[in-house]
Structure 1
Amino acid sequence: MSDIEQTVKEWLDADPRLADWPVLRTVPPNRPTRFITVERTGGGEGLHSSTPLVTIQVWAENRAESAYTAGLVSVRMIDMPLGISEIADTTVESVVNLPFPGPPPQARTQVLAQITQAAQ
């Protein structure tokens, strides 16, 4: 299986609408005012396919900016099978407001995506 976190990171990085949003695999110690994290948080492995569950969090200065960008991320994730041959399907399972309590508090919206990819 490919490293799905890296695949999603590179997919989001390639979108010009997200050019001002660093896409990271972990939250840095000194959080910037806006960034996106990608983390595999579940899913299954089969003989012929993998179905990773990926959590994408959009961290922003305010809730409106976070929610809007999460919408862009959701559309980008749904389009993933059109651009990456090993991805058979992607569904966005949920988009939720999930503010980070801090310190310091920060707006955050979470996108949960189920990805189906062919086993290699």
Structure 2
Amino acid sequence: MRIPLDYYRILCVPAKATTAQITQAYRDRLSQFPRREHNALAIEARNRIIEQAFEVLSQTETRAVYDHELSGNMFRSLVPSRPKLPFPDRPSSDTELEALTAHQPTIDIAEKDLLGGLLLL
């Protein structure tokens, strides 16, 4: 399942952040607990997504691959495929939905982590 977030936004760091800044942001994000009304499963899923973001961004090789994919997706969004309407009709297919959200960076998460993804949104 895909959610409209990227690992930099999850950790609240800029794309040019150093490894030390990423590590500090990771620790800070894990220490920030959501409100008490959220159940333990949602908080665990949220923490798994934060850990996944840290694993990717803290390693030079995986971060380079991620940055390349992220920049490729953002470049494709700059190429106009059709005029954008201010209030598009409801998409009639998955292809149209993907076209409407192509400009937003997204990440894959496991279905079991959906609640955690919603907490991060």
Structure with the bigger percentage of helix:
2
**Larger Rg belongs to:** 2
Q: TM-score, normalised by structure 1?
A: 0.29
Give the alignment's TM-score, normalised by structure 2.
0.29
Task: Considering fraction of residues, name the structure with more strand.
Answer: 1
Higher relative contact order (CA 8 A, sep 6+): 2
